[in-house]
């Protein structure tokens, strides 16, 4: 649908500008007027007045979805209609991409579409699990319960993601600082001492010769280094896009010391919680497994769950097919088997998710405790080598002068 830019006045006479998605200019006027505004002008958006949509990463984060679901539940529980709730939420949300999507969802519902179908048009905003839950909630008449369950799901997903990001952030920042400091010393500090080193009538230590050679190479051939880095990044990204690349990096992610354990537990937590949420909504197990597979970021686990969905469709118990993959810890197989035998698979998955959420938290703390001294030692070694390369000839020179 086209997008229109409008100028309007509110009840206090203040001018408001914005964009609205509608079929025609008349529909755009109706949508803006429905917000209690007096429309002054409406025209189709162009490159000069259209809202920019330059983004990096995801448009909507799990925390945004959790807040949206909780607010939506509160409004529905208070007797507010779905259309009115969408209108209010689109005006108060701080995420402009979600606000735009909610306005479009509202317009589609007003034309007779279901909430699930309208949300399904915005795959970059609303994940498949959310659309499936809404569709199941509309079919069963339990839409409020579906949104309440989703708010808990996204809230816990956001917490888990936050812990993992926290574990990765510190070593990344320190590594960047170490690289910047090392390059600065090689490009600025070492060359400033080169003339003094050249004037010394003495044999330079091996470490000094090596650092000077490295400094000369960086200063003289920095463009070659830059080209190699760019080509390397492009090659890695191209390889990651292939089947073999996805398998290689996914296997590497779960086999790395410390980090591998954290990735495995994170995958188990996401698998258990998402599957529990979908089963609770009434989705068949096979369909739920297909959706769960698409939510997993690790390609090895994604393929394993896809294979599990095919096996379950042929009558093989979920616990049996997961055990064959040898990717999930024995706890997962055991708890799912109990759930299948007792008919309480959803409850067992919920307990599994809670257990692995706690495991992710503890493992994150362990990884942080182990990485901090390791990263500091590596950084100290790099800087220490550079300092030693600069100071060694000076110390040797002072010793010669003292012996004279």
pLDDT digits (tens, 9 = 90+) for 233-246: 999 999 988 999 99
Q: Which residues contact 116 (CB under 8 A, 6 or more apart)?
A: 131, 132, 134, 135, 138
Most confident of 30-34, 35-39, 78-82, 383-387: 78-82
For the record, the structure tokens of 155 come out as 């809230």
Query: Mean pLDDT, the chain, as a whole number?
Result: 81
Most distant pair of Cα atoms in the chain: their distance = 98
The yes-or-no verdict on residue 302 having pLDDT over 80 is: yes
**How do residues 102-127 score in pLDDT, each as one tens digit?**
988 988 898 888 998 999 888 888 88
Q: Which residue has the tokens 């969905």?
A: 309
Please state whether beta strands 3-9 and 38-44 pair in parallel, antiparallel, or not at all (unpaired).
Answer: antiparallel
From 272, 69, 271, select the one nearest 152 (Cα to Cα): 69
The yes-or-no verdict on residue 228 having pLDDT over 90 is: yes
Determine phi and psi for 259, rounding to 5 degrees.
-65, -35
**How do residues 52-108 score in pLDDT, each as one tens digit?**
433 334 678 888 888 888 888 888 888 888 888 888 888 888 788 888 889 889 888
Determine phi and psi for 241, rounding to 5 degrees.
-80, -15
From 328, 363, 327, 334, select the one nearest 351 (Cα to Cα): 334
Query: Half-sphere exposure (CA, 13 Å, Cβ side) for 149?
Result: 24
User: Which three-class secondary structure state does DSSP give residue 281?
Assistant: coil
User: Which three-class secondary structure state does DSSP give residue 298?
Assistant: coil
Most confident of 39-53, 296-310, 371-385: 296-310
For the entire predicted model, the pTM comes to 0.67
User: Which three-class secondary structure state does DSSP give residue 3?
Assistant: strand
**How do residues 141-193 score in pLDDT, each as one tens digit?**
778 888 888 888 788 777 777 777 776 777 778 778 878 888 887 887 777 77
């Amino acid at each position: 649908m086209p997008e229109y830019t409008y100028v309007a006045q509110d009840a206090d006479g203040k001018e408001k500008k914005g964009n609205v998605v509608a079929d025609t200019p008349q529909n755009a006027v109706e949508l803006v007027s429905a917000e209690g505004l007096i429309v002054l002008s409406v025209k189709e958006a162009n490159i000069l007045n259209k809202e920019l949509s330059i983004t990096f990463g995801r448009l909507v984060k799990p925390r945004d979805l959790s807040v949206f679901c909780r607010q939506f539940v509160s409004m529905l529980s208070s007797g507010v209609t779905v259309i009115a709730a969408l209108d209010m939420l689109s005006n108060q949300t701080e995420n402009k991409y979600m606000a735009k999507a909610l306005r479009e969802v509202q317009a589609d519902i007003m034309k007779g579409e279901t909430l699930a179908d309208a949300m399904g048009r915005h795959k970059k905003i609303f994940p498949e699990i959310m659309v499936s839950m809404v569709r199941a909630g509309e079919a069963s008449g339990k839409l409020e319960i579906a949104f309440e369950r989703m708010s808990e799901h996204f809230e816990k997903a956001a917490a888990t993601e936050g812990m993992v990001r926290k574990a990765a952030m510190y070593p990344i920042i320190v590594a960047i600082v170490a690289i910047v400091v090392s390059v600065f010393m090689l490009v600025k500090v070492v060359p400033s001492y080169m003339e003094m080193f050249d004037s010394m009538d003495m044999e330079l230590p091996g470490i000094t010769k090596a650092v000077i050679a490295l400094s000369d190479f960086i200063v003289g051939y920095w463009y070659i280094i830059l080209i190699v880095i760019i080509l390397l990044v492009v090659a890695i990204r191209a390889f990651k896009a292939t089947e073999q690349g996805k398998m290689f990096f996914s296997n590497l992610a779960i086999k790395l010391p410390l980090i591998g354990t954290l990735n495995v537990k994170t995958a188990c937590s996401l698998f258990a919680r998402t599957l529990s949420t979908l089963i609770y909504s009434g989705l068949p197990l096979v369909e739920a497994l297909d959706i769960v597979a698409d939510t997993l970021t690790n390609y090895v686990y994604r393929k394993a769950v896809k294979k599990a969905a095919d096996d379950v469709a042929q009558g093989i118990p979920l616990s049996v097919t997961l055990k064959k993959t040898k990717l999930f810890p024995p706890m997962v197989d055991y708890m799912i088997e109990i759930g299948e035998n007792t008919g309480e698979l959803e409850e067992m998955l919920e307990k599994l998710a809670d257990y692995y959420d706690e495991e992710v938290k503890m493992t994150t703390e362990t990884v942080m405790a182990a990485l901090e001294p390791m990263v500091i030692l590596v950084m100290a070694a790099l800087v220490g080598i550079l300092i030693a390369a600069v100071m060694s000839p000076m110390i040797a020179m002072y010793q010669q002068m003292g012996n004279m």
